Structure formats: structure tokens, C-alpha cells
Amino acid sequence: MSVDPYLAFVGFYNDWSPQMEGDIEFYTKLALDAGGPIVELGVGAGRIAIPISLAGVDVIGVDVSEAMLTEGKRRAEDAGVGNRITWMHEDMKSFVADPPVGLVTIPFRSFLHMATTDDQLGCLASARRSLRPGGRLALNVFVPDPEYIVGFEGKRRLIDEFTDEHGRRNELWHEPRYEIATQALHLKAMCDTYEGDRLVDVQEAFVELRMIHRYEMEHLLIRAGFEIEALYGWFDERPFTQESREMVWVART
């Protein structure tokens, strides 16, 4: 019996993204332009899908993790949009919407879970098949930064702090390890829970990612049959420059 590798993330996954300021608004705007339903690959616990549904657009949320989908369903029901999101336990490398939709999104760097070129192209090919003519694909990935890689290799780094539903303080940490030759990123994520100053719980989760560079991503999109509409340096649609730390891609069929 296989264990869901994302089970350990469920309790703190939505709190692990403070640096993604503006992504919900960006993807919601695209969803409103496209009309529903839209497809979100790597929907997780619904951090983006739920606000999109609250804006009036139906979402087909696809994820390989049953634990994430279960948590997403709970959160959607609590938000009053349980009937606006269809939760699909499917692989983003092979899921195809039927009928096709006007927008497919892969937010929060989920495309980096595609560990090989075959995985990447399989995911993009399936996304393209999910889109009607003129439909859009939108995704974001971080910019591999050599200085960051060298500076934080193997080091524990505080990402964020939050208060959980029980009023306890939580600290989110991560510890990255890189393989330059394969572009692999082995990420250990930790959530330390405190009652006052006393550490009462430690959760650990592990994720495997593959870094992607700017022209590599461009080549993958073109090879998969997409026409690149835009590359932004952030979710406010600022130009992509030397200072950009995020690649926000929009492509069309």
C-alpha cells in the first residue's frame, strides 16, 4: 500500500505560500476572462480554487493527493462553494477535460513536480488537449537563482509564522538540497507548533522538484504546441527582468 506523499502537508500547505502575494488575484482575473469551468492542475487544498469559485467561476480541481482533495472539499464546504468545485483525483500528466475549457492553470509552482522532460511534456500535452481553440494556459515557477542556491544549500530557513485554529503559534521552515547536474531540488518542509514557548509538535514533509530555467520553459511550451502570449516577472504583470524572482507564463493554443 502506497502512502500519500502529500499527507504531511495538509495541515500547513495553505500557510506555506506567503511569498505568493497577488497570485490569487492574477488567476482569478484570468478565470473571469475565460468564464467557467476552468481547470486547475495541482489544486491542493483549494487555496486558489476557492477564491475563484467565490468570484463566480466553477473550477475542476485536479490533484494526485487524496489527502489534499479531502481537505480542499472541507474548506470549500466551509466557504459555501462546495457545489462550484469538482475535485478530481487524477494525475496532471494525463488528465484531459471533456469538454474542453477556456483556461487551464498550474499555480504555486506545481509544474515543478514534473521530474523529467517526459513528465513535463506529458503534462503540457494534456493541458493543451483540455483547452478549446484559443484557450489559455497559465502557470508560475520560481527563477533558479545561483546565489540563493549556494547561500541556502542544506540550511534550515524560516519561511513564515501563523496561528492555527487552536490558537497555537506555528513556525514554517524549509531546508533545500540541490543537484546542479539534474536540476533536482529536494525540499524538506517543517512545521513547529508551540503552546506559549513550549514546542508541542513537529511535522515534516518532503517534496521533490525540478528547477526550470527561462528558455527551457519557453522551449517546452513551444514544443508542446503552445503560442506564448506573455512572460511576466510577477503577478502584477510587471515585465520579466534581471531582478525577477518568478516566471509567470501565459500561453495560448
- In three-state form (DSSP H/G/I as H, E/B as E, the rest C), the secondary structure along 53-92 is HHCCCCEEEEECCHHHHHHHHHHHHHHCCCCCEEEEECCC
Q: Are residues 18 and 31 in the same domain?
A: yes
Instruction: Please tell me the pTM assigned to this model.
Output: 0.94
Peptide bond into 5 cis (omega under 30): no
Asked whether the predicted pLDDT for residue 90 surpasses 50, the reply is yes
Q: Could you give the number of structural domains in the chain?
A: 2
> How many whole angstroms separate alpha carbon 28 and alpha carbon 48?
8
Mean pLDDT of 51-55: 98
Mean pLDDT of 142-171: 90
Q: Are residues 162 and 243 in the same domain?
A: no
Domain that holds residue 63: 7-143+213-252
Q: What is the mean pLDDT of the chain?
A: 93
Is residue 19 in a domain? yes
Asked whether the predicted pLDDT for residue 245 surpasses 60, the reply is yes
**Residue 5 — pLDDT band, cuts 50, 70, 90?**
low
Q: Are residues 105 and 48 in the same domain?
A: yes
Q: What is residue 8's predicted lDDT score, i.e. its pLDDT?
A: 67
Q: Are residues 37 and 160 in the same domain?
A: no
Mean pLDDT of 236-240: 98
Q: What is residue 1's predicted lDDT score, i.e. its pLDDT?
A: 46
Joined together, the cell numbers standing for residue 234 give 510577477
> Which long-range contacts (C-beta less than 8 Å, at least 24 apart) are formed by 125-130?
125/224, 125/225, 126/92, 126/93, 126/94, 126/95, 126/96, 127/39, 127/41, 127/92, 127/224, 128/224, 128/225, 128/226, 128/253, 129/96, 129/100, 130/39, 130/95, 130/96, 130/97, 130/100, 130/101, 130/104
CA distances from 21 to 3, 25, 142, 203, 235 (A): 32, 9, 13, 25, 8
Q: What is residue 116's predicted lDDT score, i.e. its pLDDT?
A: 96
**Residue 2 — pLDDT band, cuts 50, 70, 90?**
low
Q: 52 with 86: CB under 8 angstroms?
A: no
Is residue 153 in a domain? yes
Is residue 23 in a domain? yes
User: Which residues, 6 or more positions from 111, have their beta carbon under 8 angstroms from its beta carbon?
Assistant: 42, 120, 123, 139, 141, 212
- Measured over the CA atoms of residue 39, residue 213, residue 149 and residue 119, the dihedral's sign is positive
Mean pLDDT of 217-231: 98
Q: 173 with 203: CB under 8 angstroms?
A: no
Q: Are residues 183 and 117 in the same domain?
A: no
Is residue 78 in a domain? yes
CATH number for the domain harbouring residue 119: 3.40.50.150
In this prediction, what percent of the chain has a pLDDT beyond 90?
82
> How many whole angstroms separate alpha carbon 117 and alpha carbon 115?
7
Asked whether the predicted pLDDT for residue 197 surpasses 60, the reply is yes
Is residue 72 in a domain? yes
Q: What is residue 165's predicted lDDT score, i.e. its pLDDT?
A: 83
Is residue 234 in a domain? yes
Asked whether the predicted pLDDT for residue 61 surpasses 70, the reply is yes
Q: Are residues 125 and 244 in the same domain?
A: yes
Of the ranges 78-87, 132-141, 173-182, 214-223, which one carries the lowest mean pLDDT score?
Answer: 173-182
Coil, helix or strand at residue 167: coil
Q: Are residues 117 and 163 in the same domain?
A: no
Q: Are residues 44 and 165 in the same domain?
A: no
Asked whether the predicted pLDDT for residue 154 surpasses 80, the reply is yes
CA gyration radius for the chain? 18
